[in-house]
């Protein structure tokens, strides 16, 4: 399949590599050109603009960091991808963006007789490299099936959420919220047991070999217990962005989410201490600081 791929950061780069290895023809654009050029030896063509990457393709895959990046890449006058994506082609948005932005994309692509599929992912860069992401796809069912071969290359399982594309973004934001709740609850629990003279690793071993066997507890438990926040699998600044998107969407839906407010303040405190580029599990340091287990960053 002829594919335009925009956004080759920590997640997008391995996803694009897997598509190339599977035999698909990729034209790649990234605002930092050097990232895209890493794919040139594998056979990718490097585009000078987002519009060029979208020209003449069957599918445009975007893996963009936030709504501002989507605004620039898709809607920029003249050079935006929506202006050159062919009628009948599909835009598959795989980054974590806001529900309202997803609604806007749905309407804008419909007006141009293009298809829009929202397909955010669950997983970290190592899972992306192995083609083991979990993909949440929403949009016209026929189009989700049309592009399922691409999803099968990038992920181990694709969930069809709904015909309404923004539903996938709602699910993704809710899922990321649960991850942050896991991180925060682990941090508070570890603080408690450590202040009581029990090693966090001992407590974690008991948890993950009894009733808390989910990968989220094991993987984030290891990071929090070990204080391992570099290299970042998912940057704390992006986690803060996702928390804001969740709160905005919940406000629009008139759904109180008080724990989301607590998580917001954890992110804000961590950002204030210069942790933006650490893994988002570093919000656990705030609980540790409040318990007197570590000093605040200077």
Query: Which residues have C-beta within 8 Å of that of residue 275, sequence separation ≥ 6?
Result: 229, 236, 282, 283, 285, 297
Sites in the chain below the pLDDT cut of 70: 296-298
Q: Where are the beta strands (DSSP E) in 139-236?
A: 155-162
Q: Is 218 designated active site?
A: no
CA gap 123, 11 in Å, rounded: 9
The residue annotated as part of the active site, out of 17, 21, 132, 172, is 172
- Spell out the domains of the chain, with CATH numbers in brackets: 2-164 (3.40.50.720), 170-290 (1.10.1040.10)
Pairing label, strands 133-138, 121-122: antiparallel
Q: What is the pLDDT of residue 295?
A: 74
Residue 298, pLDDT score: 40
* pLDDT on residue 297: 52
Report pLDDT for 206. Answer: 98
């Amino acid at each position: 399949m002829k594919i335009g791929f925009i956004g080759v950061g920590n997640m997008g780069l391995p996803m694009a590599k897997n598509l190339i290895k599977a035999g698909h023809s990729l034209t790649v654009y990234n605002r930092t050109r050097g990232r895209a050029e890493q794919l040139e030896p594998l056979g990718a063509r490097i585009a000078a603009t987002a519009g060029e990457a979208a020209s003449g393709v069957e599918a445009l895959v975007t893996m963009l960091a936030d709504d501002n990046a989507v605004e620039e890449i898709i809607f920029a006058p003249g050079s935006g991808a929506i202006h050159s994506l062919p009628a009948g082609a599909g835009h598959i948005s795989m980054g974590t963006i806001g529900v309202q932005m997803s609604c806007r994309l749905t309407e804008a692509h419909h007006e141009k007789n293009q298809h829009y599929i929202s397909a955010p992912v669950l997983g970290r860069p190592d899972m992306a490299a192995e083609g083991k992401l979990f993909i949440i796809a929403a949009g016209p069912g026929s189009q989700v099936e049309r592009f399922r071969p691409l999803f099968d290359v990038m992920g181990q399982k694709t969930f069809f959420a709904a015909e309404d594309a923004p539903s996938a973004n709602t699910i993704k934001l809710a899922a990321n919220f649960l991850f942050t709740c896991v991180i925060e609850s682990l941090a508070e629990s570890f603080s408690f047991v450590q202040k009581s003279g029990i090693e966090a690793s001992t407590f974690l071993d008991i948890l993950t070999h009894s009733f808390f066997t989910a990968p989220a507890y094991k993987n984030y438990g290891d990071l929090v217990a070990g204080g391992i926040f570099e290299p970042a699998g998912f940057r704390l600044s992006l986690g803060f962005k996702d928390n804001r998107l969740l709160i905005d969407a919940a406000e629009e839906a008139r759904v109180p989410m008080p724990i989301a407010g607590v998580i917001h303040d954890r992110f804000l405190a961590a950002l204030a201490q210069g942790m933006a580029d650490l893994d988002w599990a570093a919000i656990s340091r705030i609980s540790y600081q409040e318990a007197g287990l570590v000093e605040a960053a200077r």
